[in-house]
Amino acid sequence: MFLRPVVTEVRSLCAWFRKFQRDWDGEPEAPGRDRVPGVMERLNTIDGELTRNGGESLKDQVVETRLDLAAIDSRVDTVEQRVADIQSMLNAKVGV
């Protein structure tokens, strides 16, 4: 039968589309497994992590970490300057 390859391909395409639709829509909770959210729900979750919300989002944590690092960098610069000043004073007293 010359239609067999076409029918096989159409069945394969239908199976792929059913799987895609299940992934897109998500799946409800069932005995022995958790609910699987759909694509749009997952995208909304990701979007929420990339938007500042008062401290709990990933973006808030990155901003807070950046500010903390800037403060640490400033303190390290201060310590480095003080060490250089102390070395200069010691060198002047020793006559180096």
Helix-strand-coil split of the chain, %, nearest 5: 75, 5, 25
From CA 77, how far away is CA 11, in angstroms rounded? 68
pLDDT at 61 over 80: yes
* Domain limits for position 44: 1-28+35-49
Tokens of 71: 């403060």
Tokens of 14: 């239908």
Q: Which residue reads 């960098």 in tokens?
A: 73
Q: 70 and 39 in one domain?
A: no
pTM of the model: 0.52
Tokens of 45: 């979750």
Q: 41 and 1 in one domain?
A: yes
Span 4-28, pLDDT tens digits: 999 999 999 999 999 999 999 999 9
